Chain A
Amino acid sequence: MEFQIPNFAPAAAEIFVAAMALVLLMVAAFARPGGGRCAAFWVSQITLLVAAVLSLPVDWSAGVWEALSNSEGGFAMWLLSWLASGKVTFTFGLSFLSDPLGGMLKSLVCLAVMAVLLYGRRYLNDRKLETPEYYVVAICATLGMLVLISASSLLTIYMGLELLSLSSYALVAADRDNPRATEAAMKYFVLGALASGLLLYGISMVYGATGTLDIIEVARGLYEQQVNRTVLLFGLVFVVAGIAFKLGVVPFHMWIPDVYHGAPTSVTLLISTAPKLAAFAMAFRLLALGMWDLAPQWQKMLMIAAVASIVLGNLAAIAQTNLKRMLAYSGISHMGFMLLGLMAAKGSPHDLFNAYASSLFYVVIYVLTTLASFGILLMMSREGFEAENIDDFRGLNRRNSWWAAMMAIVMLSTAGLPFFVGFFSKFFVLQAVLSAGHLPLAVLAVLMSLVGAFFYLRIVKVMYFDEPTDDTPVRASRGFGLVLSSNVLAVAVLGIMPGWLMNFCVLILRSSFG
């Protein structure tokens, strides 16, 4: 076999982030004790920004200005189609894939992690947790997500997943003197290792059945019916379990409330946002791409997981008094909703793209709103005080009406009320579910949204109807306040103009699968 130098260009973002992680490590190693925080923060931000640009799904070789002058349908349409113009390229054999879907998700992951680091900075600083090493690990986690998104071989997927998971375990334990955090890290590690084991077991069965690790080859083998379906089905069950663990859907949700609650809020923010994008990509590549011919089987599994998550997530959230736990359970139900979109994919190509796009839209919006909700929690916390109980929001309207309004927008959007974008993400998924003919599922989903509305409204109630018990002024530094407010306002503005994002999701999927 002749050795060929692979094409590194499609992996530019991953290679850059990996190199910068090493640079950060140097910063950490050579900074004087207790120093280097500021440098590490800015190096990570720049790294992520560059990585976000590098991974944009854009066809750089096309003449930008000529295309712009030739474009029809106005600047906005041109911009969207330019942003989705990337080519589908495999590299490193068939184990690494660069396509518009991956590019979009990778850019979003980088932007989300940028916001995560910015929002968490003051919080970590107040708790003496901000060290250069924190940023090294966060960047490694990002690298894991990028690899996971681009992976098109079962082993690459596993590699990305492990890099992400191991970094997350370390981050959860960042506050090592806090027993709750270390307990959460242990739980996370043990359950995570179990899930990795399940996934690996599933991968080995898939390999056994098809004789290949490349997702494309698996799909071809299935299509040509040259595989042992029984073994493959067994493998599929374990693969779905691995995905379900990463997404945090029932019955693999047990770690979510404890880890979200126990971890420092800035780490909770990281775990609850960007990895969901990566997990979506993983689910999409493994199931929709690799095992499309087993769709009836995995769709049934996803349906059960989705229904159980929506029911359990919403019902369990009612009983919580801790906001982080409540958001954890609400996250479980949201991931269930997202799976409804994936599971509704059937029929004509139009319906397929429709279902996948609704799911993609859902997860993007979920990340955007979750960034805002945990961001507000971080903003409310201060030295020696954790804002994490629902009661900490008591009378916020009297203390600071701006942030009360911001939190209200986020909560109402998560509850799925218009004019906020949460309504449209639910609406699009429901539409996909109904067009796949699952009327009872849609009714169940809306009834559970009603239950959800109850506990989101409780936050609004606490902020607006109750008297404050704590009169400390609520303050955010200018930069932090500005970014967080624009994050929340994005939720409101997207609620008024949701159309372009949905168009973009469809466009991205179409150009990824021609």
Chain B
Amino acid sequence: MTVPYLSLAIWVPIFGGLLTLFAGKDRNAPVARIIALLTALAGFLITIPLYTGFDTTQANMQFLEVLPWVQYFNVSYALGVDGISMPFVILNSFITIFVVVAGWEVIQEKVAQYMAAFLIMSGLTNGIFSALDGVLFYVFFEAALIPMYLIIGIWGGPNRVYAALKFFLYTLLGSLLMLVAFIYLFQHSGGSFSILDWHAAPLSMREQSWIFFAFLASFAVKVPMWPVHTWLPDAHVEAPTGGSVVLAAIALKLGAYGFLRFSLPIVPDASQYFAPLMITLSLIAVIYIGFVALVQTDMKKLVAYSSISHMGFATLGFFMFNQLGIEGALVQMISHGFVSGAMFLCIGVLYDRVHSRQIADYGGVVNTMPKFAAFFLLFAMANAGLPATSGFVGEFMVVLGAVKYNFWIGFAAATTLILGAAYTLWMYKRVVFGPVGNHHVAELKDLNAREFLFLAVLALCVLGFGLYPLPLTEVMHATVDELLRHVANSKL
């Protein structure tokens, strides 16, 4: 009998979260923390066989699990991963550990609910990445909004209610249109909700265009693409550190993943037709949002805008329809998961001590926190795309792909290397270097063991994938090949 790894990856965190909720009342927060940490670790260990047991030569879905769910509508509980989704399942489970550890001391209020929300969210996110049934995907996709809404709203900053609601309604609007598209596809694919059946469903250009825009409404908000990105800075600024990490490292990837799983294969002709539009929007995100990031005075907002800019790179890579572009975009997304997560954790480290995110409130941090400054520098460099960090690999591949597609697009995309360096390093300079800015900075204590540990692990990941990205690209290769072959075949 085969072990249902994917089901475990989904349900272990969810049940662990519920257990945390019931075991940890406000009195016994330590119990809640320990259960949460054990669940997160178990959740990560479960996903390791997904990598070790993965057959990199195959392009089709692996670790399949299919059970009937709502038989009347042919909805099934179908799970499976390919080279595109598998790394994200592992990334998500991995990041969850950091989220739990990052909230260890900082969160003192409703600890059990905090931990439970993140664990449940992690399970649901694994569900999104591994669902092979449209309804199942949608159910996970929507349900994951609920814990995030609560996380921002309960543990967030002063303007949290506005941010939480904006986040929720923006994302819900897109998903609802996608739902209509799903039902439409159900009726035009011979009554099936299987995503793989939809890949093969014949659709006219008119149908494809409508469906493309319904998907775009949902995924563009999630990515987020310009001009529907405005929820992200609000949500990031108000979310607690853990929330920001999950948003940046995981939630943004859902939209991009949606393009690969739904838009490109289901409506290939519309995707090709509207590619110039998508490329334009992506370039606007890369360049314009890069400039916006430059003028931010709030560190979290700056990193939030830099995330939008980096995700613009990912969508740019997808819509050039070549191997380098798509693989580069995927590498970029994984790397961004580590780097942006690490950046938010670094800002969290500062925020926990000074309770300010304003760049102006810092200065000369290196004098009091040398170890922290070293880690922060590494992550800032990775964010700017320095060679030998994971940030470089993805960006370089996408730029190569873009140049192949069209020189000027590649040229425009490459400006991100300059812009990224500008806003990240300028921020780094103002926060870390110079004379000690004020008495808060003078009283700072350097990293404690817990913080050192999680930053060190992330630093290893960033450097590791920067120097040797093969383990990552190798699992994607066959799937991306197959995807490109599929997209090249017109459905008309």
Contacts and interface: CB of A to CB of B under 8 A. Distances in A.
Q: Do A and B bind each other?
A: yes
Given A418-B138, A449-B176, A431 B161 contact: no
A431 B143 contact: no
A465 B149 CA distance: 10
Interface in B379-409: none
A498 B160 CA distance: 34
Contact of B73 (A397, A431, A434, A465): A431
A281 interface: no
A443 B187 contact: no
Determine chain B's interface SS by DSSP, over half rule: helix
Contacts of B169: 450, 453-454, 457
A430 interface: yes
8 contacts: A412-B146, A418-B140, A418-B143, A427-B183, A430-B183, A457-B149, A464-B154, A465-B161
A401 B69 CA distance: 31
B70 A498 contact: yes
Contacts of B72: 499, 502-503, 506
A454 B177 CA distance: 17
A442 B146 contact: no
Nearest to B70: A499
Interface in A412-448: 412, 417-419, 423-424, 427-428, 430-431, 434-435, 439, 442-443, 446-447
B144 to A, nearest CB: 10
Given A401-B113, A431-B186, A461 B180 contact: no
A434 B180 contact: yes
B55 interface: no
A439 B164 CA distance: 31
Nearest to B124: A419
Contacts, number: 87
Given A418-B139, A443-B180, A465 B70 contact: no
Interface in B66-85: 68-73, 75
A447 B176 contact: yes
Given A431-B73, A464-B150, A419 B139 contact: yes
Contacts of A454: 165, 169
Given A418-B143, A461-B161, A464-B154, A427 B135 contact: yes
B19 to A, nearest CB: 15
Contacts of B165: 454, 457, 461
B142 A418 contact: yes
Interface in B172-211: 172-173, 176-177, 179-180, 183-184, 186-187
A446 B146 CA distance: 18
Interface of B: 68-73, 75, 110, 113, 135, 138-140, 142-143, 145-146, 149-150, 153-154, 160-161, 164-165, 168-169, 172-173, 176-177, 179-180, 183-184, 186-187
Contacts of A461: 153, 161, 164-165
A453 B168 contact: yes
Given A401-B113, A499-B70, A503-B71, A417 B176 contact: no
Given A446-B180, A450-B172, A499-B69, 13 more contacts: A418-B142, A427-B183, A428-B73, A434-B184, A446-B177, A446-B179, A450-B169, A450-B176, A454-B165, A461-B153, A464-B153, A498-B70, A502-B72
Determine chain A's interface SS by DSSP, over half rule: helix
Interface centre among A397, A417, A430 (most CB of B within 10 A): A417
Contacts of B184: 434, 439
A304 to B, nearest CB: 21
Nearest to B168: A457
Interface string A446-481: 110110011001001100110000000000000000
Nearest to B152: A465
A412 B113 CA distance: 18
A362 B173 CA distance: 22
Given A418-B143, A434-B187, A442 B180 contact: yes
B187 A417 contact: no
A381 to B, nearest CB: 26
Contacts of B140: 418
Contacts of A498: 70
Given A419-B139, A457-B149, A499-B72, A431 B183 contact: yes
Contacts of B69: 499
The 7 A-B pairs of least Cβ separation, nearest first, read A418-B139, A499-B70, A446-B176, A465-B153, A434-B183, A502-B72, A418-B143
Contacts of A460: 149-150
A428 B145 CA distance: 22
Nearest to A354: B72
B145 A417 contact: yes
Interface centre among A412, A464, A502 (most CB of B within 10 A): A464
A205 B350 CA distance: 79
A98 B344 CA distance: 65
B138 A435 contact: no
Interface in A483-514: 498-499, 502-503, 506
Given A443-B180, A465-B154, A502-B70, A450 B187 contact: no
Nearest to B68: A499
Interface centre among B68, B69, B176, B179 (most CB of A within 10 A): B176
Contacts of B71: 499, 503
A464 B71 CA distance: 37
Nearest to A466: B161
A43 to B, nearest CB: 39
